[in-house]
Amino acid sequence: MPTTTPGGILETARTWLAQDPDGETRGELRALIEAAESGDETASAELDDRFATRLAFGTAGLRGELGAGSNRMNRVLVAQAAAGLAAYVRGRAGLSAPVTTPTDAAAAAEETATPAILDDAPIVVIGYDGRRNSDVFARDSAEIFAGAGLRAILLPHLLPTPVLAFAVRRLGAAAGVMVTASHNPPNDNGYKVYLGGPDDGSQIVSPADAEIAAQIQRVADAADISTLPRSLAYEVAPETVVDEYVAATVAVAPAPPGAEGLRWVYSAMHGVGWETFARIVEAAGYPSPIPVTPQLDPDPAFPTVAFPNPEEPGAMDLSFAAAREAEADLVIANDPDADRLAVAIPDESADGGWRRLSGNEIGLLLGWRAAERAAADGAAEGASLACSLVSSPGLQTVAEHYGLDFHATLTGFKWISRAPGMVFGFEEALGYLVNPETVRDKDGISAAVAILGMVSEARGRGATLADLLREFDETFGSFASDQISVRVDDVSQIARIMQALRARHPESLGDVAVERVDDLLAGVDDFPPGDVLRLWLTDGSRVIVRPSGTEPKLKLYLDVRGESREDAAQRIEALAESARSLLAEYGG
């Protein structure tokens, strides 16, 4: 592992430089090394940040800022990750470990020229989006998988993450890799891993993440990626794989008669969703949307948004402007890799006349749709709805109403996708799974088609999406949610707050007593242990406290149920005020 002593960091950086195949990151690193050698303290600190640790491989795979160093996303780190994943896949298939450290360049060339890829070799499929270096990282991975004797299949061009998740199952792959950082800042990229076989195309979970990480570390300890066997004998998937995803997604909700005349706005948020989604919209029979043209095509600079996430303030301003001009019925937006969905509706009370629905509102509507259809088809027995434990408890009410099972899981679709009998799953962070027989991950494109179907059916009887929200409240009750995020400069502050809450449970929030506290570290129900506290209040409200898995934030998720939408809004406002006071008391 890298050392934090100045001399050690410099030596580690020089070793890294010698194996880096990327001219841009080599130049960047060489300049830092030369500056540090001349006594530049800023350069030395920068090298320490880049090499004192490694970008962690976990249940989200890899994700981080582009740049040279073990704590950045780059071709060296990706090569190590690909070789480590290849060793894991081979081991899982009962094959011997691949040769990953030829003794010299001649051996490496021989290994590359004659890859031992058998007809029945495990398949690894690789996809990539439009971010900087996504295509480069994908091709590097394909070459290394092929060099390890695996059957590597590269998707034919940049595509949404759900297409990769679909391809893992469709091609019977042992594993899949999607090169994307989803809705992270422009200078980030990532490496998301899926597993086939018994995992059925879901994202990795423990213990696979730790086992893959150990293989990656073994490759990294061998130091020089230039000796890794590579091969150009990888395949490029036929376009028919995309065609089949399109056909399966069209089947989610072919346009009903009410779709005629629908006026809707669409934004791809500078990502890769539009080309695939456009084909589906046309084939399903929906009217073409009014496009947010500046955001329609892939652009890794994301020039019109400060942060390419539909949840962020300002990200949908161009969509709202287009919707106002067109007097549209609704707005639909995907995030850059199209695995998330945002929906907005006209609302006179909102600033600018448009309101983005919360992830919980969309999730409850889609859950209602799925449960109603399962019951109508006589398929309720054994079927279930699932959501993350921080998502609205209203989904359980929907499931019980229709006689379906319900499962709450840890956050992330790696857990939601594994819920038994699931016909629909969601998480409040704009993630929805409406077609689990096709994709075992959140899919913003198929969810968009389902929303278009719901809106069109409502239009057919003279109703709107806002009317559907009111009908939901009348049927199941009024649920309201809120979230409080506290960003910190010192990550240890989050641990101190969690420790303080565990040492002394709060007795009340405002005037409402805390009935019980569930500590998931101690094991609760069927949840795997996790750094999560769940507070239940005597009035039925709920507060969940957890550190963010991707950012230096402490997050509080608040949920209430009211007698009406107005009552629920008042109660959630009061609970939010009490939760902020709680944070202040415990060091937030």
Instruction: Return the active site residues.
Output: 182
89, 220 Cβ separation under 8 angstroms = no
Residue 44 carries which side chain, given as an amino acid letter? S
> What letters, b where the CB count within 10 A reaches 16 and e where it falls short, cover 101-126?
bbeeeeebeebbeebebeeebbbbbb
344, 321 Cβ separation under 8 angstroms = no
Q: What order do you get walking across the sheet with 330-334 strand by strand?
A: 290-291, 264-267, 330-334, 341-346, 354-356
One-character DSSP codes across 99-138: P---SSHHHHHHHHHS----TTPPEEEEEE-SSTTHHHHH
Can you tell me the distance from the alpha carbon of 32 to that of 45, in angstroms, rounded to the nearest whole number?
10
Can you tell me the distance from the alpha carbon of 465 to that of 458, in angstroms, rounded to the nearest whole number?
7
Count of other CB atoms within 10 angstroms of residue 575: 25
Backbone angle region of 479, left / alpha / beta, with phi > 0 → left and psi within -120 to 50 → alpha = beta
Q: Which residues contact 19 (CB under 8 A, 6 or more apart)?
A: 76, 223, 224, 225, 226
Q: How many residues does the chain have?
A: 588
Three-state secondary structure along 310-339? CCCCCCCHHHHHHHHHHCCCEEEEECCCCC
